[in-house]
Amino acid sequence: MVIRNERINRRRQIVIIMAPELLILLGAAVILQADLLPDKKFLLLPPVNFTIKAVNLAQVLLRWEPNPDQEQSNIQLGYHVKINAPQEEDYETRNTERNLITILHKGFSASVRTVPWNDHSLQASSWVSAELKAPTGSPGTEIVNLTCTTNTKADNYTHLRPYQVSLHCTWLVGKDAPDDTQYFLYYRYRSWIEECQEYSKDVLQRNVACWFPRTFINSKGRDYLAVYVNGSSKEAAIKPFDQLFALHAIDRVNSPANVTAEIKGTCLSIHWEKPVSAFPSHCFDYEVKIYNAKKGYFQTEKMTTNTLITIIDDVSKYYIQVRAAVSPVCRATGLWSEWSRPIYVGKDDQKPWTEWFLIAVMMTICFILLIFSLICRICHVWTKLFPPVPGPKSNINDFFVIINNEKTGSSETEVISYVEEAGFETLEDSVF
């Protein structure tokens, strides 16, 4: 009996000792079950009041609101936005609005849905969509082949903006545009919008090019340039057109300035200055083109500095040109500049050209004399200018002729005797 009571007491002690631990485990299980059960029933609702609004040239504002009926929880919510047109794109955000730079002449449409931001085990909500319709206008009346270029010039009139960027755009008239169509161009850079004032026209006096000598564009900027062209006509509604340009892709870099070259022995030293640009000197790559006039071949060297020293054949003449481009270190790869004006260095080639000229002159003179000689021979000019002097007849020759003819017959002797007598009479007349 005593032993039985001791066993009961030990069991009670064990239960008392383990009771707190059991309670902790039981509480954790209840809490875990409470957290898991709502997730299975928790549904994400789509956003509401989703709108798309054109707020500027080639710029739209997407805006939506969280669903007010969404059940509150500790789960962080986000949004999955999908651009359907004009070009497919998607991204996730926790914001409820987004500004987008995009072309709008084809229209714009997008969709958005609610997604769990961290817990991807939950299913996203359904999609809600909105659309911005394409602007009206007759098909085929909008411009085509719109191209634009920028160029930087030094501005000595202001210290705040030492460089000015010009803009030049060209386009072709729409294939179905009426003859009285007139186009008008605008550009937007950041928040600045400007209308073109200087146009070039075709034979029908329609605007086909635009020139901005000064703009608000920053040549070092990374923003897109938006160009918008609309039009008017009495015969049809002209459809507008817009296009986005990356500045690095349309910026025409100036050629390097003050290119000089010098030969010392067999060393050719070439030096130049960086192009007129808002970018500093270390932001340029260069190509140097050297033409060997004697051997007739080009040598091209790539440089990151503004000096080149190379070994050459000192008996030749060299033609040198340099061009530049903004380095990828400072901006995305863009256009190369035009080649600089060629400079010449080396042996003077005037003497060989003079020799060839003299040879050509001598050959021409000889050719003229030859032709003149042939003409004189054909037309007997020499005989007319210098007639031959007649000489006295030889009586001895006449005597032998008569003797020979007497042998052949009497009839021939009479003829020859007659000739002889005539010749004699002529001689007598000349003597007396």
Residue 120, amino acid: H
Specify whether 329 is located in the same domain as 275: yes
Residue 39 has pLDDT above 70, yes or no: no
104: pLDDT strictly greater than 90: yes
Residues 74/116, Cβ–Cβ less than 8 Å = no
Whether 193 and 151 share a structural domain: yes
Instruction: Indicate the residue among 220, 249, 278 that finishes a domain.
Output: 249
> What DSSP character marks residue 244?
E
Residue of higher predicted confidence among 247 and 314: 247
121 with 174, same domain: the answer is no
- pLDDT category of residue 380 using cuts at 50, 70 and 90: low
The per-residue DSSP string of 302-326 comes to EESSSEEEEE--TTSEEEEEEEEEE
Q: Which of 6-20, 68-82, 316-330, 355-369 has the lowest mean pLDDT?
A: 6-20
269 shares a domain with 190: no
Poorest-pLDDT segment among 58-72, 165-179, 400-414 = 400-414
Query: What are the tens digits of pLDDT across the range 271-330?
Result: 999 999 999 999 999 999 999 888 888 899 999 999 999 988 767 889 999 999 999 999
In this structure, of 10-19, 46-55, 352-361, 391-400, the range with the lowest mean pLDDT score is: 391-400
- % of the chain at pLDDT higher than 70: 75
What pLDDT, on the 0 to 100 scale, is given for residue 402? Answer: 47
- Answer yes or no: is pLDDT of 417 > 50: no
Residues 67 and 94 in one domain: yes
Residues 166 and 191 in one domain: yes
User: Which CATH number covers residue 55?
Assistant: 2.60.40.10
pLDDT at 407 over 50: no
As a whole number of angstroms, the distance between CA 252 and CA 338 comes to 8
H or E element in which residue 144 lies: strand 144-154
Do the domain assignments include residue 5?
no
Residue 374 resides in a domain: no
Q: Which of 231, 249, 267 is the last residue of a domain?
A: 249
Q: Which domain holds residue 242?
A: 144-249
Q: Could you tell me if 331 and 306 lie in one domain?
A: yes
**Three-state secondary-structure class, residue 89:** strand
- pLDDT at position 392 over 60: no
Residues 155 and 240 in one domain: yes
Which of 183, 217, 249 is at the close of a domain?
A: 249
Task: Give the span between the Cα atoms of 65 and 59, in whole angstroms.
Answer: 21
The answer to whether residue 55 scores a pLDDT higher than 60 is: yes
Is the same domain home to 107 and 202?
A: no
232 vs 75, which has greater pLDDT?
232
Tokens of 147: 């191209």
Is residue 248 over pLDDT 60? yes
What digits encode the pLDDT tens for the residues 110-165?
999 999 988 777 889 999 999 999 999 999 999 999 999 999 998 776 666 789 99
| pLDDT higher than threshold 60 for residue 351 | no
Q: Which of 48, 88, 58, 94 has the alpha carbon at shortest distance from 75?
A: 94
Return mean pLDDT, the chain: 82
Q: Are residue 118 and residue 149 in the same domain, yes or no?
A: no
pTM to 2 decimal places: 0.68
229 and 152 in a common domain: yes
Mean pLDDT, rounded, for 93-119: 93
pLDDT at residue 404 is higher than 80: no
Domain count of the chain? 3
Quick one: 150 and 245 in the same domain? yes
Mean pLDDT across the stretch 340-357?
73
Sign of the Cα pseudo-torsion (133, 135, 141, 146, in order): negative
Q: What are the tens digits of pLDDT across the range 164-173?
A: 999 999 999 9
pLDDT for the residue 219 = 87
43: left (phi over 0), alpha (psi -120 to 50) or beta: beta
- How far is Cα 182 from Cα 82, in angstroms, rounded to an integer? 37
Higher pLDDT: 332 or 385? It is 332
Higher-confidence residue: 11 or 261?
261
Classify residue 28: in a domain, yes or no: no
